Amino acid sequence: MQRLPLSYIKPGMKTFEEVVDANGRVLCGKGIELTEEHIKRFYELGVNFVTVEGHPVNLPWEKTLEEELQALNKRFEGIKDPTLLEIKKILEEFFKEKYQEP
Amino acid sequence: MEKKIKKLKFSEKLPVILELLQKIEFLIEDEKTGISEIAKLIEKDPSLTTKFLKLANSPFYGFPKRITSVKTALNFLGVNIVKILLIVNNFLELSSKDDFLIWEHLVGVGMVSQLLAKKLNFEDSSTFYTLGLVHDIGLIVEKLSFPEEFEKIREKIKEGKSLIKIEEEFFKFNHSELGAYLMESWNFPAKLVEPILAHHDLKKAKRYLKESAILYLADLLVWAKGIGEDLLFKRDKVDSEIFSLLSLNFSEIKEIFRKMDLFTVEIRTFLNSVLY
Ligand SMILES: [Fe+2]
Ligand SMILES: [Fe+2]
């Protein structure tokens, strides 16, 4: 799943969760393939973000798995605290899972 | 500690907000004047009002409806949060795009504090988001008031020392103490002061241990995940009780990382709309 600003949303993407407007009204269900029509309506009703299935867009700051793990190692450089190292392990698991997703 | 802080000469940019806060304080004390008077006071300044409403509509407050007036914000958020947002707005105005990572850290910590608070069934999760926005205020004040020392602090961090230790060498206090001191001087209640004081050292928490632990953990997780990736926020140790204190297990932590990952785009979009 990926959360995207409306400007990145294209017809054919599938919603991962309900889309609601600023007043909490449900505009579109979950698992729906979006059409031009939907997107136009989202603009009109002030929707800013939509969560869609998969990972259709590479946002400018997003790293590859390798870069992500490299940055993680650099952040934790010199750290010996066992609890912090546990947290690092959780993050490694998280990143590996994230990049395995279709 | 207080004396050490009082001796400092802060940048003259800081008091900009103080006058407004004092007027609000004055209005709160006078019991007859209610929220509408405070709203009127803020609305006198249209540019402030616009910026304030942007903050009140931060993505992570999660109100069902857009907040379109200062009065609604006061009703929804309460006077203390509105006061903090005015302070945050003031510091945002003194910041530039160069401070993006610092603000990404602050908003990130707000978002994660709120997530944790919701998970632990605290009713006022929006308070926790606000605490996140303001928790490193001591650091921003140091940066604005003592730019030269601040650059030296950055250099020292590269050598591997922790921010807190270096601050104590330079100033004889650290940014959590300075932040708590400022919050207290602005008449915020202990519930909003103590977590700031304890966000690097849980032993300093007394009455609000859980609240403090939430902010402490959020600060740590945001750094660990690489949101607001700046050496300033590096941690070298952590209270080993933290997870049992908040009764969180590792799979719940992973779930929080997943949410952080999903919402980074909202943090960034939001910051691009408030930082120039
Ligand atoms: Fe801090
Ligand atoms: Fe922090």
Reported ipTM: 0.88
- What per-residue confidence (pLDDT) applies to B49? 93
The count of structural domains within chain B is 1
Q: A77 and A41, same structural domain?
A: no
The DSSP secondary-structure symbol of B34 reads -
Other beta carbons within 10 angstroms of residue A37's beta carbon come to 9
What residue numbers bound the domain in which A83 lies?
65-98
Side chain identity, residue A91: L
Do A46 and A73 lie in a common domain? no
Is A60 within the bounds of a domain? no
How far is Cα of residue A95 from the mean position of the Cα atoms in its chain? 13
CATH of the domain at B175: 1.10.3210.10
Closest CB to B254 among A72, A76, A93: A93
Q: Are residues A48 and A8 in the same domain?
A: yes
- My answer on whether A47 and A70 are in the same domain is no
Cα B54 to ligand 1 centroid, rounded to whole Å: 25
**Which residues of chain B register pLDDT less than 70?**
1-18, 29-33
Residue A27 domain-assigned? yes
Give yes or no: residues A71 and A41 share one domain.
Answer: no
CB A87 within 8 A of CB B224: yes
Cβ B69 vs Cβ B244: under 8 Å: no
Q: Which residues of A touch B269 (CB under 8 A)?
A: 5, 48-49
Q: What is the pLDDT of residues A2-39, one digit of tens each?
A: 999 999 999 999 999 999 887 778 999 999 999 999 99
Q: Within a domain: residue A58?
A: no
Rounded CA separation B129/B116 (Å):
10
The three-state secondary structure class of A13 is coil
Which structural domain range is residue B208 located in? 2-274
pLDDT of residue B17: 65
Under 8 Å between Cβ of B194 and B207: yes
Q: At residue B68, what are phi and psi to the nearest 5 degrees?
A: -110, -5
pLDDT bin (cut points 50, 70, 90) of residue A101 is low
Task: Return the bridge partners of A50, or none.
Answer: A4
Q: Do residues A35 and A10 both lie within one domain? A: yes
DSSP B17: G
Same-domain check for residues A8 and A44: yes
pLDDT of residue B94: 87
Task: Give me the CATH number covering residue A7.
Answer: 3.90.105.10
Is B220 an interface residue toward A (CB < 8 Å)?
Answer: yes
User: What is the phi/psi pair of residue A3, to 5°?
Assistant: -95, 125
Query: Both A44 and A84 in a single domain?
Result: no
- DSSP structure string for B160-206: T--HHHHHHHHHSS-HHHHHHHHHHHTT--HHHHHHHHTTT-GGG-S
Please give the model's pTM, rounded to 2 decimal places: 0.91
User: What is the tens place of the pLDDT at every residue in B114-135?
Assistant: 999 999 999 888 999 999 999 9
C-alpha distances in angstroms, B118 versus A46, B29, B113, B127, B211?
26, 32, 9, 11, 12
Taking one residue from A and the other from B, the number of pairs with CB-CB distance under 8 angstroms is 76
Look at chain A and report how many structural domains it folds into: 2
Residue A57 lies in a domain: no
